[in-house]
Structure 1
Amino acid sequence: MENQNYKNHIRFYAPHHFVFLPLLIILEGIGIYKVFSDEQHQLVWILFSVVIFLIFYLAIMLRQHYALVLQNRIVRLEFRQRYFEIFGLRSDEVEEKLNFSQIAALRFAYDDEFKIFLEKALKENISGDQIKKSITKWRADFHRV
């Protein structure tokens, strides 16, 4: 495998980037052209254009969904790492007792408050929103999608 560098670090998924999306754009262009040029079947071409647009929109939104799902997995990994760094233990049992909202909210607390809110989340089952509202010294995250 070739070493990665600046010139080759960008990655494309050929079926998606060079086949599927360009094909949808071409089909949408044909549909819009036919709406104005084929008056006899104008309604059919409008429907065709709407369906192609919806497929294109769905393809774009799925990419966003994949990014958010991956980001949520990373948030869980960050929690596991942080828990291990603070307590020196695996977080499996603790993580099972928390919902994602609580795990995500704990990210905004510095270590001293992290311990307090983690305990409250486990014992009192406070919500992620309650955790966020209770944090006095906010640990910002500017990297979320």
Structure 2
Amino acid sequence: MSEQNFKNHTRLSGGYHGLTFSLILILLVGAIRYWSRAATEDKYAPVLFVLTAVILIFLFFFIRIFALRAQDRAIRAEENLRHFFLTGKAFDRSLRLGQIIALRFASDEELPALAERAAREKLAPKDIKMAIRNWRADHHRV
């Protein structure tokens, strides 16, 4: 596995983000075309196909959002514990979840100072990631 850094740390799944979403969009477009060409008195089946495609689009996004929120909660707890082990105190309460998630990439040596700087300067998650010198890879994020 190649070394992880700011430029390559994001990850997309071709099967999920590419293929599945494309197939749902094809279903939606086909269902809309079927609906527009159906006889006026026979719209029940086309409407069901459109409704099914819309439901699948909502599921596609909500499934991803729910999984990421669960991971975000775990990351917040893990990183707060790591910070506590390194410094003897919890993260500054002014740190937002996005900042804490970005701090997970900082090495143990960098984490305390960078967490303090992030809270003091209200750094954006992208700025936190760019400030990391010794990247700590996270290959388990989905």
TM score, norm. by length of structure 1 = 0.64
Partner of 1:107: 104
> Over the residues paired in the alignment, what is the CA RMSD in angstroms?
2.5
Q: Flag structure 1 segments of 5+ consecutive residues without an equivalent.
A: 1-27
Between the two structures, name the one with larger relative contact order (CA 8 Å, sep ≥ 6). 2
**Alignment of structure 1 residues 1-16 onto 2, 5 Å:** none
Task: Name the structure 2 match of 1:4.
Answer: none
CA contact (8 A) 2:106 2:134 kept: yes
Q: How does 1:1-145 map to 2 (within 5 A)?
A: 41-89=41-89, 91=90, 94=92, 96-145=93-142
Larger radius of gyration: 1
Scaled by the length of structure 2, what TM-score is found?
0.65
CA distance in 1: counterparts of 2:135 and 2:129, whole angstroms? 9
- Report sequence identity in percent: 31
Letter in 1 for 2:69: V
Greater helix proportion: 1
Report the Cα distance in structure 2 between the residues aligned to 1:60 and 1:54, rounded to whole angstroms: 10
- Cα deviation, 1:88-135, whole Å, max 9, x if unaligned, reads 23x26x1x2011221111111101111221121122222221111111
1:20-79 deviations in Å (ceiling 9; x for gaps): xxxxxxxx9xxx8xx6xx856443321221002212332343222211110110111112
Match of 2:21 in 1: none
